[in-house]
């Protein structure tokens, strides 16, 4: 009974996946599954492919098939999918589908579930990556914008600024007064040291010409 069901299922799968199925033996074959998972950089790249290896135990479909997920021979890869790391998780995600279909042909359901789960896995990782990039961009933008904005004014910051401003103004006023007082003192000293000469002394020092003296200017001391 199991052998007949296996042969019938295999024939149905050949009609559904004529180019994707490859026989290994009478009880074993491989199915190529294309995943709709585009990369971030190029929407025109070839779709990612994985291989589902199926082997029928003698009692299939009353027992689960022997499954293995393999890398595609074309070497297709995706930045958010690693067949070595993800294969076991994807196989485990098929358990519910297998349990629901025990006793009947289940490979088509398994292929559909595997394709959906693999695409969802990639999609989630893409979204997480995009969210991370957005957060990095926003953080960089905030840092850039902060260069053009001063410190936000609050009652506390204004009070601190006002206190410092008044202190600086008082210090400037004090220095200005000291400079003015110093200037006044210097003027007083200049006045004190300016000598007062008599007319004769001025003449003798050459400050008044001899001609003025001869014309009768009184150069004698008072």
Higher pLDDT, 176 or 17: 17
Q: What does the pLDDT average to over 72-83? A: 84
Q: Mark which of 128, 148, 165 sits at the end of a domain.
A: 128
Query: Which token pair is 182?
Result: 């110093």
Pair 11, 107 in one domain: yes
Is residue 69, in this structure, part of any structural domain at all?
Answer: yes
Is residue 156, in this structure, part of any structural domain at all?
Answer: no
Pair 121, 32 in one domain: yes
What pLDDT does residue 193 have? 55
What pLDDT does residue 33 have? 95
Q: The domain spanning residue 62 has which CATH number?
A: 3.10.110.10
What pLDDT does residue 45 have? 61
Place of tokens 């294309």: 34
3-class secondary structure per residue, the chain? CHHHHHHHHHHHHHHHCCCCEEEEECCEEEEEEEECCCCCCCCCCCCEEEEEEEECCCCCCCCCCEEEEEECCCCCCECCECHHHHHHHHHHCCHHHHHHHCCCCCHHHHHHHHHHHHHHHHHHHHHHHHHHHHHHHHHHHHHHHHCCCCCCCCHHHHHHHHHHHHHHHHHHHHHHHHHHHHHHHHHHHHHHHCCCCCHHHHHHCCCCCHHHHHCCCCCCCC
Pair 46, 122 in one domain: yes
Is residue 144, in this structure, part of any structural domain at all?
Answer: no
Is residue 137, in this structure, part of any structural domain at all?
Answer: no
Place of tokens 């003027």: 187
Is the confidence at residue 222, as pLDDT, over 60?
no
Pair 33, 109 in one domain: yes
Pair 6, 92 in one domain: yes
Count of structural domains within the chain: 2
Pair 211, 121 in one domain: no
Q: Which residues on adjacent β-strands are paired with residue 52?
A: 31, 69
Higher pLDDT, 122 or 214: 122
Q: What does the pLDDT average to over 100-105? A: 96
Is residue 11, in this structure, part of any structural domain at all?
Answer: yes
What pLDDT does residue 2 have? 78
Mean pLDDT for the chain overall: 83
Q: What does the pLDDT average to over 161-185? A: 85
pLDDT in tens, 105-150: 999 999 999 999 999 999 999 999 999 999 888 888 888 777 776 6
Is residue 114, in this structure, part of any structural domain at all?
Answer: yes
Is residue 115, in this structure, part of any structural domain at all?
Answer: yes
pLDDT in tens, 35-69: 987 655 555 567 789 999 999 999 999 999 999 99
What pLDDT does residue 43 have? 56
Is the confidence at residue 197, as pLDDT, over 80?
no
- Provide the 10 A C-beta neighbour count for residue 30: 17
Q: What domain range is 26 assigned to?
A: 2-128
Is residue 123, in this structure, part of any structural domain at all?
Answer: yes
Pair 18, 103 in one domain: yes
* Angle at alpha carbon of residue 42, lines to 127 and 34, rounded to 5°: 75
Pair 102, 203 in one domain: no
Q: Mark which of 110, 128, 146 sits at the end of a domain.
A: 128
Higher pLDDT, 218 or 25: 25
Pair 121, 215 in one domain: no
Pair 123, 200 in one domain: no
Least confident residue range of 26-35, 189-198, 213-222: 213-222
Pair 213, 108 in one domain: no
What pLDDT does residue 211 have? 47
């Amino acid at each position: 009974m199991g052998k007949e069901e296996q042969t019938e299922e295999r024939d149905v799968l050949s009609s559904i996946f004529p180019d994707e199925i490859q026989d290994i033996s009478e009880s074993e074959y491989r199915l190529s599954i294309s995943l709709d998972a585009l990369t971030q950089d190029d929407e025109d790249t070839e779709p990612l492919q994985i291989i589902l290896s199926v082997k029928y135990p003698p009692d299939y479909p009353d027992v689960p098939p022997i499954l293995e997920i393999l890398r595609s021979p074309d070497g297709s890869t995706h930045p958010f999918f690693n067949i070595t790391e993800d294969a076991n998780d994807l196989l485990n995600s098929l358990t519910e589908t297998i349990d629901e279909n025990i006793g009947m042909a289940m490979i088509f359901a398994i292929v559909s579930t595997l394709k959906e789960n693999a695409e969802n896995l990639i999609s989630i990782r893409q979204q997480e990556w995009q969210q991370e990039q957005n957060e990095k961009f926003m953080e960089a933008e905030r840092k850039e914008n902060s260069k053009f904005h001063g410190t936000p004014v609050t009652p506390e910051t204004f009070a601190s600024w006002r206190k410092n401003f008044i202190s600086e103004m008082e210090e400037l006023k004090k220095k200005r007064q000291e400079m003015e007082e110093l200037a006044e003192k210097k003027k007083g000293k200049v006045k004190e040291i300016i000598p007062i000469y008599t007319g004769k002394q001025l003449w003798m020092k050459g400050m008044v010409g001899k001609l003025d003296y001869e014309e009768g200017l009184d150069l004698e001391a008072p």
